[in-house]
Copies of this chain bind each other. A is one copy, B any other.
């Protein structure tokens, strides 16, 4: 194999039936797709079940097919292993049942690492073992804006350093975001007029709008092309009677979950976020959300990352096994390293502080952080081994502002520019970060033996006296006679300055810390947002 993506050679398989347009070769972690022709008598979205079981040596994966309109049923599959995969369909419709086919999965091309999963207890990694550190932003309704604006969003994301974006399936109706979307997830049945004379669309909740889903898929693939994970929000409260997608009948909610998981589970860069601010979706109970979580898990054979996001400080029961990680909107955990570490200690799962407020100039306090504050909060979380999502909310009032947080567009702020710098620094660590001496030293993070960071936050001192804790998480304790070099990293100005002198540890009298044997100090630039990278010399 050359390592390049196999061309999507259309191929008529027709092994036993009607499988059409399947590929003969599919790159690892990419999508196999096959179609079956059958014109349903009733509602093809609702009345028919279709599954396919893919087999490769000892591995068996059963996926759901879905109706794609015009008498076409589709089956999609993301192969994790190279070699021959064979499949057989099962359906309550004889014409769709027992259809067979096969394809060859070929080695992933460079840069294609597969889907992101939990790695270890607190981290993430791609399917091929490459570590993944989420540096996300948010653009809730970007796929519902005009096509040119969507292209601008993609162009902005491309060089940005972000590798995750939170985005809603359903359109958003909220202060500052009141555009009608181009496409709706359901077919329009007609218009209705409420008691106040307000005219709105009436949905045929039994028929999905195929154009809507194809568009969403295209945008998720576009993100994949940029190496960005789509943290896809399945429900949200920002509807306010505009469309009613937050108050659909339970049967429709569940059919929607089954449909979207059937269509999208084979997309390697999809994450499921059951909700944004779940507690503001007044029509749904904890039992509903648990049912939705179970429905996702049942219908997603790959077990993509799954979480749920609440309003400020509203913690869902993230310890429930359905949830792969914590996705919490709360400023408190990112006020300090120790508070972010608390969440790790409690949940023993990866922690993402998704939406801790945004850089911007809105009147709402959640939308007017300075860029420095936004960066500060991100650094606090990241240095404690959690992850923090960026966002920005600039409103210029000139009719051209788009507010990235909701609509996408161009970045207007300053903190986003630091994301790539920060991400490279984290990706260069030998291990993922955690506090070196939990609950005792609230500044020092460790990335393994001889690899530390000290986060000075808003301190703007002239010097730092060399000092590290003896305890080094579960690594070997730090003793005397270890030589270190120190780099002064200005996270705001994105500079790395090597400290000219080196340091050699001696154990302090109390036995809990080491300092430099000559009492050495590191000169600091008297600016805030400084971190120190302290690495042992060979």
Query: Chain A: residues with CB nearer than 8 A to chain B?
Result: 312-315, 317, 319, 330-333, 335-336, 338-339, 341-343, 345-346, 363, 365, 438-440, 442, 510-512
CB-contact partner of A315 in B314, B346, B442, B512, under 8 A = B346
Contact in complex: A338, B346 (CB < 8 Å): no
Q: Is there an interface contact between A342 and B345, defined as CB atoms closer than 8 Å?
A: no
Complex Cα distance, B336 from A312, in Å, reads: 18
- Asked whether, in the complex, the Cβ of B333 is within 8 Å of the Cβ of A336, the reply is no
Answer whether A335 and B336 are a contact pair too, CB < 8 Å, given A312-B439, A365-B510. yes
| B438 and A312 within 8 A (CB) | yes
In the assembled complex, which residues on chain B have CB atoms less than 8 Å from the CB atom of A363?
A: 510-511
In the complex formed, the residue of B with least CB distance to A314 is: B345
Partner of A319 from the list B319, B345, B365 (CB cut-off 8 Å) is: B319
Most chain B CB atoms below 10 A, which of A312, A339, A442, A511: A339
Q: Which residue of B lies closest to A331 (CB)?
A: B439
Task: Please name all residues of chain B whose beta carbon is closer than 8 Å to the beta carbon of A332 when the two chains form the complex.
Answer: 338-339, 341-342, 345, 438-439, 442
Q: 6 other contacts beyond A332-B345, A336-B339, A339-B342, with CB at 8 A cut-off?
A: A315-B346, A331-B440, A332-B338, A332-B342, A335-B442, A342-B343
Nearest to A512 among chain B residues (CB) is B365
* A345 / chain B contacts, CB cutoff of 8 Å: 313-315, 330, 332
Given A332-B439, A338-B339, A339-B338 in contact, is the A317-B319 Cβ separation under 8 Å? yes
Residues of B within 8 A of A333 (CB): 342
Contacts of A335 in B (CB 8 A): 336, 338, 442
Shortest 8 CB-CB contacts between residues of A and residues of B? A332-B338, A332-B439, A331-B439, A315-B346, A339-B339, A313-B439, A313-B345, A313-B438
For the complex formed, measure the closest distance between the CB of A340 and the CB atoms of chain B, giving whole angstroms: 10
Question: Which among A331, A345, A510 has the greatest number of chain B C-beta atoms within 10 A?
Answer: A345
Question: How far apart are the CA atoms of A313 and B339 in the complex, in Å?
Answer: 12
A365 near B313: Cβ-Cβ < 8 Å: no
A342 contacts which chain B residues (CB < 8 A)?
Answer: 313, 330, 332-333, 339, 342-343
A401 to chain B, nearest CB (A): 21
With a CB–CB cut-off of 8 A, which chain B residues contact A438? 312-313, 332
Q: Which residues of B contact A317 (CB under 8 A)?
A: 319
A98 and B345 alpha carbons, distance in the complex (Å): 51
In the bound complex, how far is the Cα of B342 from the Cα of A314, in angstroms? 10
Complex: A438 Cα to B333 Cα, angstroms? 12
Q: How far is the CA of A343 from the CA of B313 in the complex (A)?
A: 10
What is the minimal beta-carbon distance from A342 to any residue of chain B, in angstroms? 5
Cα separation A333 to B442 with both chains bound (whole Å): 12
Least CB distance from A314 to B in Å reads 8
User: Could you tell me the distance between the alpha carbons of A343 and B346 in the complex, rounded to whole angstroms?
Assistant: 9
Residue of B nearest to A330 (CB): B439
A315 contact set on B, CB distance < 8 A: 345-346
Q: Residues of B contacting A314 with CB < 8 Å?
A: 345
Instruction: Provide the bound-state CA to CA distance between A317 and B342, in Å.
Output: 14
What is the distance, in angstroms, from A431's C-beta to the closest C-beta of chain B? 19
C-alpha spacing A342/B214, complex, angstroms: 41
Cα A510 to Cα B346 with chains together (Å): 35
B residues in contact with A365, CB < 8 Å:
440, 510, 512
Q: CA separation between A440 and B365, bound complex, in Å?
A: 9
A312 to B342, CA, bound (A): 11
Please measure, in the bound complex, the distance between the C-alpha atom of A345 and the C-alpha atom of B483, giving whole angstroms: 43
Give me 27 A-to-B residue pairs in the complex whose CB atoms sit less than 8 angstroms apart, sorted by A's number: A312-B438, A312-B439, A312-B440, A313-B438, A314-B345, A315-B345, A315-B346, A330-B342, A330-B345, A331-B439, A331-B440, A332-B339, A332-B341, A332-B342, A332-B438, A332-B442, A333-B342, A335-B336, A335-B442, A336-B339, A339-B342, A342-B342, A342-B343, A343-B346, A346-B346, A365-B510, A365-B512
B contact residues around A341 at 8 Å (CB): 313, 332
